[in-house]
Amino acid sequence: MNGISQTLDPAIARSLLRELGESARAFRFEVAPNPCVGAAVLAGSKVVSRGFHRVWGGPHAEVDALRLAAESSVPQSEWDTMLVTLEPCSTTGKTPACVDAIKRSGIRRVIVGALDPDPRHRGRGLEILEEAGIEVLVDPVPSPLQDVAPHFLHWNDNERVRRPRPWTIAKWAQTLTGQLSPPEDIGGGRWISGPTSVAEVHKLRGRVDAIVTGVGTVLHDDPRLTVRPMGAPGLAVDPSNLSKGSPPPQGPARIVLDSWLRTSPTARLFEESQDGELAGPVVIVALPGADPIRRRALEAAGATVHTSRGMDRFTLDLRDLWSWLWSQGYQRVLLETGPTLLRNALDAGFVDQLRIYTGNVRGGEGESLAPWLTEAKLLERLHRESGQDAVLEAFLR
């Protein structure tokens, strides 16, 4: 495993690995906390297909490349080499192990740009392939992982390993002046962001295990927090395309942080789903001393009430709560709530990724998070447009 195959020019192989890595970065905010990975299937020196890990919970790059190769005009018997920017995975999680798909494909040689940086898995995928009789080569000039997966390296280097918790995405919409609530006289509805952004948010909801909100948001907005099919071309959420476990078949869990059980049993959270929307289970998180009568009423409405430790008699302990979320199998969480809970989670260091929509609306109500953002340590950021809205996506240190 110390050289590039003599049947493929090393310069060409390295150039292709670099190209795959750079192209994979286009999906970095969709796959986090997974790394950006690209793969290619070759027949001799001809590239048959290029595949990528495109969405969290979806097929990995190797499987995507094999699928596209199968749709090509090149017979499978002619596939001989796979290039992949990162060592193929050897364990089954939300998707099967990639090494198994490679073994079934008939590929005879795998060229890897870099080993898995996670010490728990590093080298194991290559060992499995070699045991199956597949030639494995690692580029002696490895791909610079910090260029293609900075969030992945940061995630594996910090507290996820020491104190497991979900990867957390904070999403909010704000006005041009930074307020999270529109002015009272906005008219035409209560949304700050436009229909394209609303459709994007439903797509994002469909790619997390849980949505976390606060009781203040429930009392003020009475949200559904479901995944709804949207009509915008290319943005519709098709439940049949949602990967196993991402989210659960009924939709992501809807988790309300409600210390004293102020949520109403008649809230829209408890309405039956309709018109193809995915409505996940409702979980209310409360302090141990919460009213047992209110608890029974919420359970009768369909909620599960979980008791969590408090920092004091009014406030839930977010560290304890985020550890509990991980223990329940929630690996990727969307924080969709008001400024108080958002600021608390940001200050506690529990937010890993931001998605902020700025609508073409002036004024607004309530606190602005703009001062926090000016001080934030952003690992990487991307500015883009969504219809008439401006979007900031970022990874936090």
Residue 18 assigned to a binding site: no
Q: Distance between CA 358 and CA 176 in Å, rounded? A: 6
Amino acid (1-letter code) at residue 67: R
Residue 205 assigned to a binding site: yes
Residue 67 assigned to a binding site: no
- List the Cα angle 342/348/354 in 5-degree steps: 45
Task: Put residue 359 in one of left, alpha, beta given phi > 0 → left and psi -120 to 50 → alpha.
Answer: beta
Whether 365 is a known active-site residue: answer no
Amino acid (1-letter code) at residue 71: E
Q: Residue 202's beta-bridge partner residues?
A: none
Residue 66 assigned to a binding site: no
Token representation of residue 134: 């597949």
Strand, coil or helix: 133: coil
14 backbone dihedrals φ, ψ, rounded to 5°: -65, -40
Q: Hey, how many other C-beta atoms are within 10 angstroms of the C-beta on 292?
A: 10
Element (H, E) at 23: helix 10-24
Residue 60 assigned to a binding site: yes
Rg of the Cα atoms in the chain: 23
The answer to whether 6 touches 109, Cβ cutoff 8 Å, is: no
HSE-up (13 A, CA, CB side) for residue 263: 37
Q: Distance between CA 215 and CA 256 in Å, rounded? A: 6
Element (H, E) at 83: strand 81-84
Q: Residue 243's beta-bridge partner residues?
A: 246
The answer to whether 65 touches 41, Cβ cutoff 8 Å, is: yes
Residue 36 assigned to a binding site: no
Residue 259 assigned to a binding site: yes
Residue 225 assigned to a binding site: yes
- List the Cα angle 294/296/302 in 5-degree steps: 105
Q: Hey, how many other C-beta atoms are within 10 angstroms of the C-beta on 118?
A: 16
Exposed/middle/buried for 103, CB within 10 Å: 0-12, 13-18, 19+? Answer: middle
Residue 98 assigned to a binding site: yes
Amino acid (1-letter code) at residue 16: L
Q: How far is CA 1 from the centre of its chain?
A: 33
Which of 30, 62, 200, 336 is labelled catalytic?
62
Q: Which residues are annotated as a binding site for NADP(+)?
A: 173, 191, 217, 221, 259
Q: Which residues are annotated as a binding site for Zn(2+)?
A: 60, 89, 98
Q: Which sequence positions are flagged as catalytic?
A: 62
Q: Which residues are annotated as a binding site?
A: 60, 89, 98, 173, 191, 205, 217, 221, 225, 228, 259
